[in-house]
Chain A
Amino acid sequence: MGHATDLLIRYGYIVVFGVVLAEQIGLPVPSQLLLVGAGGLAGNGRLNPFIVLVAGAFASLIGDSVWYGIGRAGGPRVLGWICRISLEPDSCVRRTHGMFGRCGAWSLVFAKFVPGLSTVAPPLAGVTGMSLHAFLGISTIAGLVWAGVFIALGWLFSSQLEVIGTSLEGLGSWGLAVVVGAIVAYVAYKYVMRHRFMRKLRIARITPEELKTMLDAGGDVMVVDVRDRLDFQTEPSIIPGALHLSTDELEARHLEIPRERDIILYCT
């Protein structure tokens, strides 16, 4: 039996709890893979699936509660900060906000399965003033569903996972190095892409004064209001001449945006 598997069997519940908590707090560790692995070991009778489930769900609840508290105390500013450090800037606050507008508190369950959104949803619940009672209830369900799905996958494919595990163990430390290297390379790639995109956007940013001057001079620009439904309903006004287009409507209406003109986007 390999060292990693041996370690997971001996300290499985603590490892699951620690890794899930680390990921929920925001560290780029693949806790889903660990849950699948733990589910596989549970399927082979080496771990108790219910204790794995409770460890994963409880760690998830603690992590989410910390973010909820931060969101509640820090307000909207916290979301901007999370988005800056997120590895998924394109799927950050806007999509989460949109999801809250459509699904309400149950977004906490769906968001668990979407990279980027899972970190933003709990503080957004705090920012939007969701009660602690409701948050704890739904977040517990979200943690159980999320951890349960990955554990169940591992359970279902436990024999196949055993074969993969044996193959990796056969490769020895090289096999482990390849897996760790692939994870590090993925995180590094996401970070570089995010950094490039954010830098490009920072360079292209236009100030309100510049936009006002351009509009007054009849400049060839199109202004697009991309606030989501929730924000727009709260404040149903736009910059004169702007086209309102939320993320949900993008697929159906993107042809309304001309390709040959400069497009100025604004959100809340």
Chain B
Amino acid sequence: MALLLKRRGIERVRPLAGGFRAWQDLGYPVKSLAPIASGG
């Protein structure tokens, strides 16, 4: 993905070490985008 972005002129790219899982493992905040189920 970093290479694909670079080809489109986005050069200042840094990957997050360990990805989303590493972020979650440290207990850092996440924002849920799951659709909220409507109540009956």
- The residues of A with any CB-CB pair to B shorter than 8 Å are 89-90, 94, 197, 201, 204-209, 211-212, 223, 225-227, 235-242, 244, 247, 250, 254, 257, 259-268
Contacts and interface: CB of A to CB of B under 8 A. Distances in A.
B31 A239 contact: yes
Contacts of B28: 208, 212, 239
A233 to B, nearest CB: 10
B17 A206 contact: yes
B40 interface: no
A267 B19 contact: yes
A263 B12 contact: yes
A238 B33 contact: yes
Given A90-B1, A227-B20, A236-B33, 15 more contacts: A90-B3, A206-B14, A207-B17, A208-B18, A237-B30, A237-B32, A238-B30, A238-B31, A239-B31, A247-B1, A250-B1, A254-B5, A257-B10, A259-B10, A259-B11
B39 interface: no
Interface of B: 1-5, 8-23, 26, 28-34
Which of B11, B16, B29, B31 gathers most chain A CB within 10 Å? B16
A204 B19 contact: no
Contacts of A266: 15-16, 19-20, 23
Contacts of A207: 16-18, 22
B34 A236 contact: yes
Which of B1, B10, B15, B33 gathers most chain A CB within 10 Å? B1
Given A94-B1, A208-B28, A237-B32, A225 B10 contact: no
B30 A239 contact: yes
A207 B18 CA distance: 8
B19 A263 contact: no
Given A197-B3, A237-B34, A254-B8, A268 B21 contact: yes
B1 A267 contact: yes
A240 B34 contact: no
Nearest to B18: A208
A263 B12 CA distance: 6
Nearest to B13: A263
Given A204-B15, A205-B17, A240 B22 contact: no
Contact of B5 (A241, A261, A263): A263
A266 B26 CA distance: 15
Contact of A267 (B20, B30, B32): B20
Contacts of A226: 1
17 contacts: A89-B3, A201-B15, A205-B17, A208-B28, A211-B23, A236-B32, A239-B23, A240-B31, A247-B1, A250-B8, A254-B5, A254-B8, A259-B12, A263-B5, A266-B20, A267-B20, A268-B21
